[in-house]
Amino acid sequence: MSSVSTLGATCALPVHEADPRELRERAWEARRALGTRALVLGHHYQKDEVIEFADITGDSFKLAQRGAEAGDADFLVFLGVYFMAEATDVLSAPQQQVVLPDLGAGCHLAETADIFTVRDAWTQLAGALPGRRIVPLTYMNSGADLKAFVGEHGGAVCTSGNAERAFAWARERGDMVFFFPDEHLGRNTAARLGLDPAAPAVWNPLLADLGGNEPDRLAASEIILWKGFCNVHTAFTVGQIEAARGRDERTIVIVHPECPRPVVEAADEDGSTEYIIRRCEELPSGSTIAIGTDWNLVNRLRQEHPDKTIACLKDDICPCVTMNRITLPKLTWCLESLASDEVVNVVSVGEEMARWARVALDRMLTLT
């Protein structure tokens, strides 16, 4: 199991009593006091009020990598969610400590699969399919315990950017891929590999016997997908795409591959967060772009490219609730605590778990 230590700290003034301008000044003062002792890593989906403090921005794996490369930093302050901080700890140097301003910042998608139900599914699959060489793959959006599980069982981690290569890698090493926890990323990846999107079997962890499948259905499948999903990306619909094109037929629709298959099929392009950012940079001035991903990122892209019309497919969508748990007051408290030599909210993965999780992450590195 991973372990978490939470230590208290006292700020000069209670952060809840300060206005945003004062908090911003205090946060910057603490950040300057920490200097190179701290590196602030910010995920693209974070609020503007905290992302401005990030030394490095990126997706979860890029940030974990860059944090591991920062050998001079004592503290890696992660502006993101828990599984990201865990991965950063797995890849960081022994003397570094990973700090998360709010330990309640989780991920709905990551929480749709836990180590107990995955182990049970693995045991059932092995019993139902004797002789099959099953290779497990887990999405980056999963706990360190699941990353360790796939590492120990010959599998790897993947991102939305290298899922296709990871699936191809797994298929070369076995005759069945067991992918968790995102059903939609798995189905869209299978389609990219030329498979019928309906071909993969779906394992529902809420159904006790074979995930709700008949043995023959599992035996006929090359890919088994866990029934998990991102509650932000599944809020996008084909109707929203049609409405965007109705407003402007020139609209280029780009969605994240965590969206359901019909949405991806209706879009012009789909790709990872980094892909979406790159395409907004590449498309010519005057382009109209509708994007199916987290609102915070889309709004930031809109501000960064005023020469283009950029909108979220569902502009009134609620940003990821757990991502938005990292707020300016919490970041200010965290930075001031560290600057006062009080280490708070440390995320630490146990040694054995970290060893196998690193095996899975290192395998992923070979696929990037």
Report, as an integer, the average pLDDT of 252-270.
Answer: 98
What CA–CA distance (Å, rounded) separates 53 from 117? Answer: 38
CATH superfamily of the domain spanning 3-108+322-349: NadA-like (3.40.50.10800)
pLDDT at 10 over 70: no
- Alpha-carbon separation of residue 336 from 33, 39, 321, 333 (angstroms): 9, 14, 25, 5
Please list the residue range(s) of the chain that carry CATH number 3.40.50.10800: 3-108+322-349, 115-230, 233-312
What CA–CA distance (Å, rounded) separates 142 from 154? Answer: 17
CATH of domain 233-312: 3.40.50.10800
- Tell me the pLDDT band of 17, cut-offs 50, 70 and 90: low
- Tell me the pLDDT band of 234, cut-offs 50, 70 and 90: very high
HSE (side-chain half, CA atoms, 13 Å) at 32: 5
- Tell me the pLDDT band of 27, cut-offs 50, 70 and 90: very high
What CA–CA distance (Å, rounded) separates 358 from 352? Answer: 10
The predicted structure's pLDDT at residue 304: 97
Note the pLDDT tens digit of each residue in 293-350.
999 999 999 999 999 999 999 988 877 888 889 999 999 999 999 999 999 999 999 9
The structure's pTM equals: 0.91
What CA–CA distance (Å, rounded) separates 205 from 227? Answer: 7
Note the pLDDT tens digit of each residue in 195-222.
999 999 999 999 989 999 999 999 999 9
How far apart, in Å, do the first and last CA atoms of the chain sit? Answer: 28
Note the pLDDT tens digit of each residue in 33-82.
999 999 999 999 999 999 999 999 998 878 888 887 887 899 999 999 99
pLDDT at 3 over 60: no
The predicted structure's pLDDT at residue 69: 85
What CA–CA distance (Å, rounded) separates 1 from 5? Answer: 13
The predicted structure's pLDDT at residue 218: 96
CATH of domain 115-230: 3.40.50.10800
DSSP three-state, residue 89: helix
Which one, of 341, 299, 301, 305, lies nearest residue 324 by Cα? 299
Residue-averaged pLDDT of the chain: 93
The predicted structure's pLDDT at residue 26: 96
Q: How many residues does the chain have?
A: 368
